[in-house]
Amino acid sequence: MAGAIGGGTASCVFCKIATKSSPTTLLHSDDKVVAFQDINPSAFRHYLVIPAAHIPTVKDLQRRSDDYSLVSTILYAVNHMLEVGRMLLLRDAPQSKYRFGFHQPPLNSVNHLHLHCLALPYTPRWRCIKYLSFGPVGFIEAEKFLEKIKPLPTVHSKV
């Protein structure tokens, strides 16, 4: 799956936003991520944070023991996405409760990794249904996802 990471596609709407080839207003931009408002918000504030590099889905970011540098890069990228989302919501909705997470295939709407940053309440209230977890599908909280991809401790046997 690692081969799917990196090069974007001309048809990917989020790649166009990340390369600033779209009229989308950016709330944050750096060399790793961009953030913008969701075009169909489900909460009082609903922002998306996407990596500049094309990463299709959370399924492309699995725990790996074979390449620690890749794992470190992935953990850093997801943590950075979460930090940017928190900073934006703290700035724009300081009194709200927050949720941060990703939709897992097949329930993701765009095949470019994107972190949903939600300042509650949901608007309308029934939109909370979109952010339920159904095990390996549905919504996964960002912190839970970070735990899922964190490298396992190395076990040294005594021989």
Any idea which residues carry the catalytic annotation?
116
Is residue 47 within 8 A of residue 37, CB to CB? The reply is yes
For residue 104, give both structure tokens: 């897992």
What DSSP state is assigned to residue 6? B
Is residue 104 within 8 A of residue 57, CB to CB? The reply is yes
Is residue 120 within 8 A of residue 96, CB to CB? The reply is yes
